[in-house]
Amino acid sequence: MRAFKLFFLLFFLSQFSNAEDFLNDSFSFISAKRNSGEDYKEYLKKYEISSKESLVHTFENESKEVSIPEAVGLSEAGSLEPDRRNALKRAEAFEKLSFDFVPEAFSLEVLSLGFQEVRDSRFLKHDSSFPRRISWLFPDDGCFVRADFMIKKLKEYGYEFKKVFLFGNLEVETKNTFSNKVSWWYHVAPVIRVGEKLYVLDPSIEPERPLELSRWVLRQTDSLEKIEIAICSDSTYSPGSQCEKGREIPFEKKLAVQELFLEHEWHRQITLDRDPEVVLGNSPPWRN
């Protein structure tokens, strides 16, 4: 059943002949994966050329070429945005980052409780015999939808967040891939302020606790000077979405994307010689 659903989703993607049809009639996403040896600036160039530029989205043994107009910052009217309204264009050096506008949590202790609640929440109904958590155990890709679903749940608990977008030659050590590492050209997660510090909630990198912003960045690169960063609204879905207020994408379309990553997460546990019913059920790795 899972294999059939994965086939159906990929077949569904293949039926759209142009970027406009894909955005309007299907679900859109921008892969964060970076191929080993490639510089993140090469990915930036792909987003600068034109609305016809395609981004290759790759999972293990699959490759699907998808045209995504949002990738180059298309406005809602359909024209290319040459200004700094999208997350990609808003990115700047870490030292220049301003965050007075970021919502504030009551305390780090309260924030940590909220982090644990959302990390452990199994609210996604899927093909398995039990509800699933957000796809924390498939870090290869999908940060954009993980961040979106995490904020959705955090709002249910009364929290307000922004999203932080990081761009660079990002690489993270993880036990959830074959190579014990994953490479991205961008990454996004929820961010909130506690006093004069920003904290990022990102169980795909650190499942135990929220990370102070600079620590989160340094989990992905060896220097704060090697990255660019932007803080955007909680509705900014991808690097090409408007930073101040991204266009809302229908929930069912985002759910379809998350379901795709849930499929990959399940099969990843099998290939890592884990029992998916255990680690995706009552005994995730952070409880051992």
Report the CATH number that the domain containing residue 59 is assigned in CATH: 3.10.620.30
| Overall average pLDDT of the 251-259 stretch | 89
Name 169's Cβ contacts closer than 8 Å, sequence gap at least 6.
Answer: 34, 39, 40, 183, 185, 221, 226
| Overall average pLDDT of the 10-32 stretch | 43
Could you tell me which residues are beta bridge partners of residue 211? Answer: 200
Alpha carbon distance 98, 101 (integer Å): 8
- Token pair for 213: 């912003």
What pLDDT score does 43 carry? 87
Q: Collect contacts of 152-157 with beta carbons under 8 A, ≥24 apart.
A: 153/117, 153/118, 153/121, 153/123, 154/114, 154/118, 154/190, 154/201, 157/114, 157/117, 157/118
- Domain hosting residue 38, numbered range: 1-288
Treating both helix axes as pointing N-terminal to C-terminal, what angle do 143-156 and 108-120 enclose, rounded to 10 degrees?
120
pLDDT tens track for 192-237: 999 999 999 999 999 999 999 999 999 999 999 999 999 999 999 9
- Token pair for 227: 């990255």
Q: Looking at 195-259, which runs of residues are DSSP E strands?
A: 197-200, 211-212, 228-232
Alpha carbon distance 70, 68 (integer Å): 5
- The mean predicted confidence, pLDDT, of the chain is 81
User: What is the number of domains present in the chain?
Assistant: 1
pTM higher than the cut 0.85: no
